[in-house]
Amino acid sequence: MSNPYPPPPPELRSWRHFVAVAQELHFGRAAARLAMTQPPLTQSIAQLEALLGVRLFDRNKRRVLLTPEGQALLPDALELIARAYALPERARAIAGGEVGRVRLAFVSTFGYDRLPAWVRTYRDQHPQVTLELIEATGDLQLAGLEQGQVDAGFVLHAPGFVPKGMASLPVATEALWLAMPHNHPLARTPAEQALDLEQVWREPLVIFPRHSLPSVYDAVFGLYHSVGQSPQVAQEAVQMQTIVNLVSAGLGLAWVPQSVTQLRRPGVVYRQPWSEPVLWCETSLVWPQHMKRAAVLGFVAFVREQLSPHPA
C-alpha cells in the first residue's frame, strides 16, 4: 500500500548547503564557508539529491559543476533563502502594523473633505499596508463590520451615537444645511436674513431612508415634531449626490451635512436656516471592539494623530 502522504520538503539548511556548493563549486571551500567539515556537507548534498530525485552536481576529483537541473534551481533556492531570512523582520513589521491590509469603508460625505488627504498621507507613511476603500452607507458598513467584511469605517450619525459592539473615534462634527432649488422662494431670501421656518416646515422633503442613517433621520424628524410638524417626504434616496440632484429637479428641500455644500450642483442653493445651527451630525471612525489586527489598530492610531493639534 502506497504512502498517501508525500515526503517532507527539503529543509532550509539543505538549500543553504546547495547554494554554498553551487557558488563555490568546491566542497572544501563551501564547507569552510558554512563552518562545517566536508563529509557532512557531501552527505547533505547526496541526501538532497536523493530526496529530489535529481542530480544537482557533476563532480569528480578535479572539478564540481552544476547540472542543468542544479543551474535552473539555483535562483529559486537563493530566493527561498532570502525570503526566509526576511521573515523575522516581516513578522515584526506585521506585529507593528506596518504590513497588512485595512478594508476601510466610508460615507460619501466624508469623501468630499478629509479622506483624500488622509489616504495620501497614510499611504506615504505606511507603503506596505494595502488600504482598500469601500464607499457605503452606514447600515451597509455596520453589517460589513459585524460580518468581518469591513475592518473599520467612517460612519455618519447623530452626535453621541455609538453602534453596539463597536469602538468609536469622532472625527468631525458639522451642521445640517438646507439644500433647495435655486428658483424656490426660500432661495431668494437674503443670505444675512433668517429663513421663514413656517414655510420650511411645510415644504416637501427629499431625504435618505431611515435604515441608511437612522440616528440622523430621527434627529430631523424630531426637530419637526418638536415644533408640532410632520415632515412631508416627497422622495427617498440613499446617496447624497442623488439627493442633491433631486433637489435640483425641484422635488423638494433636503437636509444635508455642511460638507455636501462643496458639491456644486447647478440649480441648487445651500442655506443655514438659523443664525446658530440647531441640527448637527457627526462622522466617526468605528471598528469592532474585539479588533486585534495590528494594521487596523495602526490606522486608528494614524487617524487619532491627524486629529491631534500639531505644534506651530
Helix, strand, or coil (residue 228):
coil
Query: How far apart are alpha carbons 95 and 100 in whole angstroms?
Result: 9
Where does the chain show beta strands of DSSP type E?
A: 57-59, 64-66, 100-106, 129-135, 152-157, 166-181, 204-207, 232-236, 254-257, 268-271, 280-288
pLDDT at 173: 93
Residues 271-294: tens digit of each pLDDT = 999 888 889 999 999 999 999 999
Give me the CATH code for the 12-95 domain, please.
1.10.10.10
Q: Superfamily for 174-280? A: Periplasmic binding protein-like II (3.40.190.10)
Q: What does the pLDDT average to over 122-150?
A: 93
- Cβ count near 288 (within 10 Å): 18
pLDDT band at 102 (very low <50, low <70, confident <90, very high): very high
Could you state, in order of their start, the residue ranges of all structural domains in the chain?
12-95, 100-172+282-307, 174-280
Q: Are 252 and 234 in contact (CB under 8 A)?
A: yes
Unique residue bearing C-alpha cell 458639522: 174
Residue 83 in this model has a pLDDT that exceeds 60: yes
- pLDDT band of residue 194 (cuts 50, 70, 90) is confident
pLDDT-derived band at 66 (thresholds 50, 70, 90) equals: very high
The confidence band for 103, taking pLDDT boundaries of 50, 70 and 90, is very high
Q: What is the mean pLDDT of residues 136-140?
A: 92
Q: Which stretch of 216-220, 272-276, 293-297 has the lowest confidence by average pLDDT? A: 272-276
Q: Are the beta carbons of 256 and 187 closer than 8 angstroms?
A: no
Q: Do domains 12-95 and 174-280 have the same CATH topology?
A: no
User: First vs last Cα of the chain: how many Å apart?
Assistant: 77
Q: Is 52 helix (H, G, I), strand (E, B) or coil?
A: helix
Taking a C-beta distance cutoff of 8 angstroms, is the pair 131, 102 a contact? yes
Specify the CATH number for 100-172+282-307; select among 2.40.220.10, 3.40.190.10, 2.60.120.10, 2.130.10.10. Answer: 3.40.190.10
Report the percentage of the chain scoring pLDDT > 70.
95
Per DSSP, the three-state class of 83 is: helix
Single-letter amino acid, residue 249:
A
Q: What is the dihedral of CA 115, 132, 245, 238, to 10 degrees?
A: -110
Can you give the pLDDT at residue 221? 95
| Residue (of 133, 170, 135, 156) closest to 256 by Cα position | 156
